[in-house]
Every structure is written in C-alpha cells, then in structure tokens.
Structure 1
C-alpha cells in the first residue's frame, strides 16, 4: 500500500496548483469569464493527458531506448533539484511563467498546461511513482487517482483564480512556491540516492 498522504504532497509540490493561479490570471486577464473557464478546462485536460501518458508510456519509452530506470531516476533527481533551487533562490514559479505568458499564442497549452501544471517534476513523478517493478497495478491506479485529484484542485483554483489571488496576493503565491521548492529539494536528493542504490544493486 502506498503512502497516500506523502504521494499527495509530492504531486502537490511538483504541480504547484497555488503557483499556477498568478500565471492563469496573467494569461487570461483580457478575456471574459466564459473564455477563462474554457481555458482553465482545456489546460487541465491537456496537462492531465500529458501526465497520464507518462504514467502509461514513460517507463516503456525508457526501455525502448535502453535507459535503466535508475539512471532516469538519478538524472531526474538532479534536474528536479536544479528546478527546486530555481524556485527557492531565483524567480518563483509564478514570476517566471507570467513572463512566458506574454509571448504565448496557445495560452491554455503554454505556459499553463506546460510547464506550469505538467512541470518537469510532475512528469518525473508520474514515471517514478508508477514503476512497474516496485508498484502493483492497484498502487499505480491509486497514484494516478491522487495525481488526478491534484489536477482537479488546480482546475478549481483556476476557476476561482480571482478570489484566490485576492486572498493570497502575488507575495503569498511566491512564498508558497518557494516552500514547495524546499520540499522538492529533499525529494530530489532522495531520488538521486535511491537511483544510485538501485543502479549498484543491478
């Protein structure tokens, strides 16, 4: 049985629903409420499709190109660590992705679906937390359900973005994003250590 709470916190950190709110507001600032809802739904569906694809095919693709999952775990942990450090010390996720929004054409896809919601960390989590050798089909289904629940929370926050933003403000979203970055650094280090251990046990 997987640790449901730990899995939820992991996905909440890598998807960062609260950090998506300022990005969504910037992307949709010129649109009416009806179009905002359509963009929110499209972004949630697109990001969900991407992450479910990684759940189903990520490990298969790695096997086809002959990359052991342990190597992917180490590399992914390093990338996730750098990504987390940028959240802590650099521009926070909302600040960075709001800038992307100014030049985006298909705004529901970029920067909302990718990289705001279906972030590199989320794609990595989708593969690592559904590894066939370590998790049963039931456990993989539970992980996927938790991931979808976080995406649903993200959708709800986008639909209520104006109210959420008034409550937490830009500074609040930035603080939360940095806290999530701190959590991710710990997760990243754990992934690298687990990958090294797995690699030398092969």
Structure 2
C-alpha cells in the first residue's frame, strides 16, 4: 500500500490533466488517444529504466544506497514543498511548455509531468536491492504500471474531469499530494539514516 500511495503521489495523474489539455489543444480530437498513449508509454520506459538500472548505476559509482535515500528524500521534500507552497504543477509545466515544440508531447507531458524527477527518485528508493526481494520489486513494477494505466485513463477523460473539478480543483489535488509526499520524503531520510547506522529506528516505539 505504501508503494502504491508513493507512486500515485509522485506521478500525480490528476495534476497531469491540465498539461495534457494544453499540449493537445491544437490537435484533432481523434488523435488525443494516441497522444495520451504515447506520452504514457514514454514515461513508462523512463521510469522502468530507473527502476531496473538506477541502483546499479549508483553502486557502479561507489555510492551507498543509504546516502542516496537521504539525498532522494531531501529532493522529494523540496519537490513536495514546491507542490504545496509554490506555483501549482500544471500551471508551471504549461508555462514551460510555451517555450517548446509540443508536436510530440514528450515535453512537458511525458517528462516532467508524468515521469517527474520525484518519480524517478522514488522508483529507485522503492526497489532497493538490499531491502527488497525480487518478488517485492516485481510488485513495485506492477504497481507502477497500474498507476500509469490510471494516468492514461485520466488523460483520456481529461476534458470531463477538467469540467468536473476545474483548474482550481487540480491545483488543490496537487497540494494535497505534496503534503503526502512530504511525509514520504521524511520517512525516506529516516530510513537512509537507519541504513547508515546513524539512527536506530525501533518499530516498537511506534
């Protein structure tokens, strides 16, 4: 359940809806499905790449996963603070998109709206080879596919959802997600400190 919530928060399917609507604004409606599918598949390839090879890259560089968990937790926390107090995710990415060619919707829809830096860090942390078995990592990969499938459905229903909750509603959802992500980030930092032997976490104390 923790992995599912973390992935749902960092990918933020609802927050990607305004970005999709903006990116596909000048695209015929008959192509919206193909655009949504393409962006989701690109995000899947990117995140699966980090899930499978992220830790191997770290270890090849001689970095301990505990230090990465701490660094990743700090970055996720800053990302969460930006979601809570900063400009909303959809508007920020829409503004950035105005400077780019949207013909292939790789930017900003696939990256960084769906496959965000926070999501890339999260999949590495959630599949620690030293703390999770292969079946557990496979489950995380499956949950990633599930969340991206939900994202794809949200993009297909983007117009209806946008009418229902509006841009303000999407902004509120993004900020609530940010609060949850901040909690996940703090837990990641504590877990990293525990892995390095700098903090003794006693489950019984909870």
Q: For this structure pair, what is the TM-score category when the shorter chain's length is used for normalisation?
A: over 0.9
Offset of residue 34 of structure 1:
2.2
CA offset digits 1:90-140 (Å, max 9, x no partner):
101111111122122255211111110011111111111111111111111
Match of 1:170 among 153, 167, 182: 167
Please list, as runs of the form range in 1=range in 2, the aligned pairs for 1:90-169 lying within 5 A after superposition: 90-106=86-102, 107-169=104-166
Contact 1:70 1:199 in 2 (8 A): yes
What residue is the counterpart of 2:80 in the other structure?
A: 84
Please list, as runs of the form range in 1=range in 2, the aligned pairs for 1:32-47 lying within 5 A after superposition: 32-47=28-43
Distance in 1, Cα, partners of 2:136 & 2:194: 22
Distance in 2, Cα, partners of 1:156 & 1:100: 24
Which is further off, 94-103 or 164-173? 94-103
Offset of residue 39 of structure 1:
1.4
What residue is the counterpart of 2:183 in the other structure?
A: 186
* TM-score, structure 2 normalization: 0.93
CA offset digits 1:171-190 (Å, max 9, x no partner):
00000000000001111111
Distance in 1, Cα, partners of 2:3 & 2:194: 21
Offset of residue 8 of structure 1:
1.2
What residue is the counterpart of 2:204 in the other structure?
A: none
Distance in 2, Cα, partners of 1:21 & 1:184: 19
Offset of residue 74 of structure 1:
0.7
What residue is the counterpart of 2:54 in the other structure?
A: 58
Contact 1:23 1:94 in 2 (8 A): yes
The runs of 4+ residues in structure 1 deviating greater than 3 Å are: none
Q: How many residues align?
A: 198
CA offset digits 1:150-176 (Å, max 9, x no partner):
000001111111111011100000000
Distance in 1, Cα, partners of 2:3 & 2:59: 25
What residue is the counterpart of 2:203 in the other structure?
A: none
Contact 1:27 1:102 in 2 (8 A): no
